[in-house]
């Protein structure tokens, strides 16, 4: 008998919901929808709109924030979520909350090999896999290999201290420390808002300001997308340099995570930013930052590094967890 599960990817900007059919151990997508998180009072309201009276047999939501005792407060959104309350709203079915990167990590095990693009072929071995994802924020997780299977370990490494590697990055840190009145994390750089901050840093370094087209996009559109477009197309020098520095710092932090978990199984980049910046990520600064680890540079050069271009990974990870709740 087939049953259905509700999967969600809940973030500060958007919430994705999907309904999957579970049959003979396989997951089949029935339908999905995207919602602007800030337009709703909470996840139950979005779920009710999506389901329209239909009742799933279980549910799992990847959420942007740390989960403890079945509770989470979304990092960039004034929502508090509890498994018990969500279960009640869904008619009493089993509900699980996962850190969003935990869901992404589990989903990456299910996406097809064709969804990945190699930044460094390396030498794949059985072992831990580091997962890092820049988007609205910066998420990090580890897929721990126990010799037989992978288990996802959530983390909040994106909020760790940014460590500059050269004089330019020293100035960037000073710029951001003044802006944020103290602590500067990697997320302050490696996120959509962070890319704009890096661009504004280069304006302060004396590069020319935006022309009319870019200025309009920065004021009325998606600033990070505009900076990426103008930088990749070589239409604005501050945008181009912002992308280069962004890519290098992204590589530095990916290398940090790879060392911390000894990611012999490789490093996977997920999230919305990496697929859009593939040309600059492939161009050198990312891997230069990744391998700039002194005596351990050779170890990092040996690790596979890949970008996932499949946006379904968070939902697949949540759906697989919801499916496990049925057993």
User: What are 167's two structure tokens?
Assistant: 């004089």
Instruction: Phi first, then psi: give them for residue 36, nearest 5 degrees.
Output: -80, 110
Tell me: is residue 10 an annotated ligand-binding position.
yes
Residue 267 known to bind ligand: no
Instruction: Write out the DSSP string of 157-225.
Output: GGGSBP---SHHHHHHHHHHHHHHTS--BGGGTSSHHHHHHHHHHHHHTT-----HHHHHHHHHS-HHH
- The total number of residues written for the chain in this structure: 327
Which residues in the chain belong to E strands, given as ranges?
A: 3-10, 14-23, 26-36, 58-63, 67-68, 71-73, 80-82, 95-99, 116-120, 129-134, 138-145, 150-155, 266-270, 305-308
151: its two tokens: 């288990």
A 10 A CB-CB count for 234 gives 9
Tokens of 132: 């890092």
Whose tokens are 């990426």? That residue is: 228
User: Token digits for 292?
Assistant: 């700039």
Per the DSSP assignment, residues forming a β-bridge with 154 are 141
- Going 259 to 155 to 312 to 274, the CA torsion angle's sign is negative
Structure tokens at 169: 């990055």
Beta carbons of 81 and 71 less than 8 angstroms apart: yes
Residue 28 assigned to a binding site: no
15 is in an annotated binding site: no
Residue 274 in contact with residue 214, Cβ under 8 Å?
Answer: no
Please count the other Cβ atoms lying within 10 Å of the Cβ belonging to residue 293. 17
Q: Does 52 belong to an annotated binding site?
A: no
Tokens of 66: 């740390």
Question: Is position 11 annotated in a ligand binding site?
Answer: yes
Cα gap 266→300, rounded to integer Å: 9
Residues within the annotated binding site?
A: 8-13
Residues within the annotated binding site for ATP?
A: 8-13
């Amino acid at each position: 008998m087939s049953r259905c599960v509700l999967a969600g990817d809940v973030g500060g900007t958007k919430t994705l919901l999907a309904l999957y059919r579970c049959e003979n151990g396989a997951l089949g997508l029935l339908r999905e929808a995207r919602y602007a998180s800030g337009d709703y009072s909470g996840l139950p309201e979005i779920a009710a709109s999506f389901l329209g009276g239909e009742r799933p047999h279980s549910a799992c939501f990847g959420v942007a924030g740390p989960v403890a005792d079945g509770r989470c407060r979304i990092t960039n959104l004034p929502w508090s979520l509890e498994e018990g309350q969500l279960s009640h709203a869904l008619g009493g079915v089993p509900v699980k909350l996962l850190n969003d990167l935990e869901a992404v990590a589990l989903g990456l095990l299910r996406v097809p090999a064709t969804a990945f693009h190699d930044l460094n072929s390396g030498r794949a071995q059985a072992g831990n896999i580091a997962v890092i994802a820049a988007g609205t924020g910066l998420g990090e997780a580890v897929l721990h290999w126990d010799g037989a299977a992978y288990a996802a370990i959530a983390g909040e490494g994106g909020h760790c201290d940014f460590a500059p590697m050269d004089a330019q990055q020293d100035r960037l840190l000073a710029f951001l420390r003044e802006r944020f009145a103290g602590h500067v994390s990697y997320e302050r750089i490696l996120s959509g808002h962070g890319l704009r901050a890096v661009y504004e840093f280069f304006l302060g370094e004396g590069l020319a300001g935006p022309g009319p087209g870019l200025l309009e996009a920065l004021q009325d559109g998606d600033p990070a997308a505009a900076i990426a477009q103008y930088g990749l197309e070589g239409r604005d020098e501050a945008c181009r340099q912002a992308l280069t520095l962004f890519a290098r710092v992204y590589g530095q932090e990916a290398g940090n995570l790879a060392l911390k978990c000894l990611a012999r199984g490789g490093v996977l980049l997920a999230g919305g930013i990496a697929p859009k910046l593939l040309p600059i990520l492939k161009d050198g600064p990312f891997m230069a930052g990744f391998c700039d680890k002194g005596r351990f540079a050779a170890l990092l050069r040996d690790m596979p590094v890949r970008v996932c271009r499949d946006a379904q990974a968070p939902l697949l990870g949540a759906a697989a967890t919801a499916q496990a709740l049925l057993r």
